[in-house]
Structure 1
């Protein structure tokens, strides 16, 4: 939701950063890899009990994840391979945070909730990617970007709350699961409408 409706507010910063990184010789794919490795470092900080540093690094990773797309558009170098890297690395970074939290909180209840969170993310992303592959609609991405209650920014906010307030990890995880399920159902119903219209 925030990605869809709030993008214009932060786009100038993203565009200027993209322009600067292109000027110093980096490509969009370079920044995709950098964002990925920074995201993995965030999960390492979370695992070693440095939640504030972990969250700050996670958001830096997320910012660069937005910048790489802007770089690709500015340099007219958007590619299907870049999209594959982007989507895949996003999920690995998310899994890294979940695994780090699971290792720090091996209680059965927490592990079960984190498992259900992973399942809910898989459910939502499966719909998102399938609709993106099947729909002929276009967006600023290289495939149809289906809006929803939980987009990348909402995910980062909820991961941040989980990491920063681990005393209430169960509550934040349940909220995250509910948001993911609502988003998945929202996208599923929209997919049914879109694909019917395209017949």
Structure 2
């Protein structure tokens, strides 16, 4: 929801970052890879109880994840492979954080399994609709908006990193939001794919 509706407010910051990395001669895929590395570093920091630093690095990773698409558009280098890298690396970052939380907090492992299942269901719908739909918008595929997009995920992961005493509630809320998004996406798919 935030990615779709707040983009116009943060877009100047994203464009500025894209221009900076273009001047450094980094490609969109280079920045995507850097976002992946920082996302994994965030999970390592979380493992070693550097939670505030983990959250900061996670958000820098997310910022780079927004910049890579702007770089691709500005340099006319958008590619299907870049899209695959972007989506895959996003999931690797999410999984790395979930794995670390599961290693550190045994009592919420079942909640994390439900969260992973929710992410899987929502992503299957998202990617399938994107694959069978006409390309539309600034993304290189049809992008289905929803309540839980990347920014909401980062907010929930940040809460999971910072508030350990209510971890099960945060995880369950995150799963619920993702499942609502999956329902939104399947309902939209029924309308647009007739």
In which range does the TM-score fall when normalised by the shorter chain?
A: over 0.9
What do the CA deviations read for 1:68-117 (whole angstroms, capped 9, x no partner)? 0000000000000000000000000000010010010012xx10000100
Q: Helix, strand or coil for the counterpart of 1:71? A: helix
Q: How does 1:27-176 map to 2 (within 5 A)?
A: 27-107=27-107, 110-176=108-174
Residue 181 of structure 2 corresponds to residue 183 of structure 1: yes
Distance 1:146 1:36 in 2: 23
Task: Determine the structure 1 residue equivalent to 2:15.
Answer: 15
Distance 1:47 1:194 in 2: 43
Q: Give the paired residue count.
A: 194
Distance 1:15 1:121 in 2: 29
Distance 1:127 1:192 in 2: 11
Q: CA RMSD in A?
A: 0.6
Calculate the TM-score normalised by the size of structure 2: 0.99
What is the deviation of 1:139?
A: 1.6
Distance 1:51 1:167 in 2: 14
Q: Which runs of 4+ in 1 moved over 3 A?
A: none
Unaligned runs of at least 5 residues, structure 2: none
What is the deviation of 1:20?
A: 1.3
What is the deviation of 1:137?
A: 4.2
Distance 1:24 1:119 in 2: 39
Unaligned runs of at least 5 residues, structure 1: none
